[in-house]
Amino acid sequence: MQEGQSIVEVLTSSSQEVLTRWIALQRETVKSTTSAAMEDKVRQQSAEFLAALTSAVKNGGAVAITGPAWTPVRELLARISSNRALQGFSPAETATFVFSLKQPLFEQIRRRVTAADDLAQETWAINKLLDGLGLLTTEVYQKTREDVISRQRAEMLELSTPVVTLWKGVLALPLIGTLDSERTQVVMENLLQRIVETGSTIAILDITGVPTVDTLVAQHLLKTVSAARLMGAECMISGIRPQIAQTIVHLGIDLNAIVTKATLADAFTIALKRLGITFSGGNESPGGLDRKIAEAGA
Amino acid sequence: MERIPILKMGELLLVSIQVDMHDRLAIQLQDDLTSQIAATSARGVLIDISALEMVDSFMGRMIANIAAMSRVLDAETVVVGMRPAVAITLVELGMSLPGVRTALDVERGMALLAEEMGGVRHGTAGR
């Protein structure tokens, strides 16, 4: 008897039985398929997969899953698997989709094949086939999750480095979260680009949201400040919390070359002073204040 | 052989680098500029590198050297218009050019030099 021959027979002659049994098994093992909509989906996916599998074993043989005849099966399985990964199925639940097909197929084959040798051979063929498909499912699942993670990472990178204009010629960069090399690179590029675009002469790096400052983070900050200076803009660092000031001194980091301020407001005041803009009084109407600033700027 | 032009504007010398710098050109510029400063008694040098897209450590050192030499000849140097990519490269190379004054563009560089020279403007007063 040729290896994998009986699976072709099973799939062609009693596919309906296999399908019914398979769906029942999936319902038992996977908890997420309890809702009616989900069950419909599983039923549809199972039928589709079984149809594709049948045509694949007929045309491409049941030995390896690599041939061109298996392409539709692989594509279908990849689609199902990545869908499930996005919907939050666990890896086990996703792999079970394929592995739970084993039992109905074994049952069918045991009914047809009586010789012990043949039975073992056919069981092995099915095992090999479904294990291959199961591994493919897991691989696609993993890849989909990794794609999700890398996309979120990219989004976070973008979200975490906004450059805001505080005044004409004054930029602020509120840094939030730990600074690693990759983030610093993005921060630096963004800041320098905005300096060129806006022609700003002063940039304030606010590190209120940076939880810890170690030598590496300090080095990254110093690099950013140096690069901005090379382009002709002055950089200040603000939002230095008392603990961070202590850490900086204990680590022996030299920030003497840079203007450092405790709060963004202090840094902003210095920036305005450098630009020759002064404020006076707190009780004036906004219009009055504007006029004063306009006069100072002129 | 191609040369980078050095323009005299009153007491300032204006150098605008519009071509890709290579090592020999940089050395030539260094020679030309120092002799020009000496010949014209210039008080300020403005180097515009806004068209410079690539730098290496040699070019970084040349910029620092030119600034230091001008200072010895009593001319203040301002480097203007450095591109972000160039600035990042220099910092990553560990060359933050501490002795070099910088400005965003030619206009601001001029203002900085005017301030530096204590209100002495384009040839209105002698030394």
Residue A235 near residue A228 (C-beta atoms within 8 A): yes
What's the pLDDT tens digit per position in A57-95?
888 776 677 778 888 888 888 888 888 888 888 888 888
How far is the alpha carbon of B84 from chain A, nearest alpha carbon, in Å?
A: 5
In chain A, the domains with their CATH numbers are 5-155 (1.10.490.130), 164-297 (3.30.750.24)
What is the torsional sign of CA A207, A209, A211, A216? Answer: negative
* Strand blocks (E) in B30-109: 44-48, 76-80, 101-103
Q: Which residue has the higher pLDDT, A159 or A254?
A: A254
Percent of chain A whose predicted confidence (pLDDT) is above 70: 90
Q: Nearest-CA neighbor of A208 among A172, A168, A165, A156?
A: A172
Q: Which residue has the tokens 């902003």?
A: A268
Note the ipTM here. Answer: 0.79
Structural domain includes residue B65: yes
Token output for A197: 């675009």
Q: Which residues of A touch B48 (CB under 8 A)?
A: none
Q: Nearest-CA neighbor of A229 among B53, B82, B35?
A: B82
What's the pLDDT tens digit per position in B117-127?
775 444 444 33
Residue A90 phi/psi, 5° resolution? -80, 160
Closest-CA residue in chain B for A194? B84
Q: Which residues of B touch A199 (CB under 8 A)?
A: 104-105
The pTM of this model reads: 0.64
Structural domain includes residue B74: yes
Segment A234-260 shows an average pLDDT of 88
Residue B61's domain spans which residues? Answer: 6-116
Residue B62 near residue B34 (C-beta atoms within 8 A): no
What's the pLDDT tens digit per position in A122-177?
888 888 888 888 898 999 999 999 999 999 888 877 776 788 999 999 999 998 88
Residue B74 near residue B43 (C-beta atoms within 8 A): yes
Distance CA A279, CA A274 (A): 13
Residue A57 near residue A11 (C-beta atoms within 8 A): yes
pLDDT at A292: 52
DSSP element (H, E) containing B12? strand B12-16
Residue A239: pLDDT above 80? yes
Residue A60 near residue A69 (C-beta atoms within 8 A): yes
Q: Which residue has the higher pLDDT, A84 or A282?
A: A84
Closest-CA residue in chain B for A184? B88
Structural domain includes residue B125: no
- Chosen for mutation from A188, A192, A222, A230 (greatest number of chain B CBs closer than 10 Å) is A230
Residue A297: pLDDT above 80? no
Segment B32-51 shows an average pLDDT of 92
Structural domain includes residue B121: no
Whether B96 and A188 lie within 8 Å, measured CB to CB: no
A interface toward B at CB cutoff 8 Å?
188-189, 192-193, 195-196, 199-201, 223, 226-233, 257
Structural domain includes residue B84: yes
pLDDT at A97: 85
Confidence of residue B1 (pLDDT cuts 50, 70, 90): low
Of the candidates A199, A200, A227, the beta carbon closest to that of B91 is on: A227
The structural domain count of chain B equals 1
Residue A10: pLDDT above 90? no
**For chain A, the helix, strand and coil percentages under 3-state DSSP, each to the nearest 5:** 70, 10, 25
Structural domain includes residue B122: no
Answer whether B94 touches A (CB < 8 Å). Answer: no
Average pLDDT, chain A: 83
Q: What angle do CA A65, A71, A77 make, to 5 degrees?
A: 80
DSSP-derived 3-state class of residue A75: helix
Token output for B51: 């068209």
How far is the alpha carbon of A178 from chain B, nearest alpha carbon, in Å?
A: 20
Answer whether B108 touches A (CB < 8 Å). Answer: yes
Of the candidates B90, B105, B109, the beta carbon closest to that of A230 is on: B90
Distance CA A184, CA A222 (A): 11
How far is the alpha carbon of A218 from chain B, nearest alpha carbon, in Å?
A: 14
Whether B84 and A227 lie within 8 Å, measured CB to CB: yes
Q: Which CATH number characterizes residue B69's domain?
A: 3.30.750.24
